[in-house]
Amino acid sequence: MRVGRALLRIGAPARIDVALADGDELPFWGGLRVVHLPGHTLGHCGFYSEKHDLLFSGDLFASYFFNVHLPPAILNSAPELIPASLEKARRIGARFIVPQHYDVLDSQLHRRRFERLLERWERKRVAPPVV
C-alpha cells in the first residue's frame, strides 16, 4: 500500500475515531454487521445487512462490465489474506452484493460477477504447474 500511496500521491491513512471489530452491529439501514475482509488493506471491512440480505463488499473486488477483478496487486497491503476474505464473503451467501467500484447499480448482477470471479480464482489456484 505504501508504494501505491507514493505512486498515486495519496495522503496518509485516515485517523480512526471508533474502532470496528468483525461482527459488530451498526445501527444503520436496519442494522449492518461489520465483516472483516482483509487483503486490500489489513483493516478492510465490508458490511452485511441481514434485513436486505446484501453485502457491501468494499474493495474486495471491482465489477466493471466484463472486467471483474481483484484490486491491482500494487494496491494491496496484505494480498495473502485475500483468498480467505473471498471465501468469507462467499460463506455469507448474500443474495445481493454491492462492491465499491462498479459500472451499474445492480446488486444481483454483481453477485453473479462475484461468483464468476470465484470460479476463475479457484481454477487458477488448482491449475497444474506449467512445465
Q: To the nearest whole percent, how much of the chain has pLDDT over 70?
A: 85
Q: Judge whether 112 lies within some domain.
A: yes
Q: Write the pLDDT tens digit of every residue in 13-44.
A: 678 898 899 999 999 989 999 999 998 888 89
What pLDDT, on a 0 to 100 scale, did the predictor assign at position 47? 97
Q: Judge whether 115 lies within some domain.
A: yes
- Model confidence band, residue 65 (pLDDT cutoffs 50, 70, 90): confident
CATH (domain of 29) = 3.60.15.10
Q: Judge whether 7 lies within some domain.
A: no
Locus of grid cell 483493516: 43
Q: Judge whether 60 lies within some domain.
A: yes
What pLDDT, on a 0 to 100 scale, did the predictor assign at position 2? 56
More confident residue, 19 or 8: 19
Q: Judge whether 75 lies within some domain.
A: yes
Q: Judge whether 131 lies within some domain.
A: no
- The number of domains in the chain is 1
Burial-class residue 2 by CB neighbours within 10 Å (0-12, 13-18, 19+): exposed
Domain encompassing residue 35: 19-126
Locus of grid cell 451498526: 26
Phi, psi of 6 (to 5 degrees): -65, -45
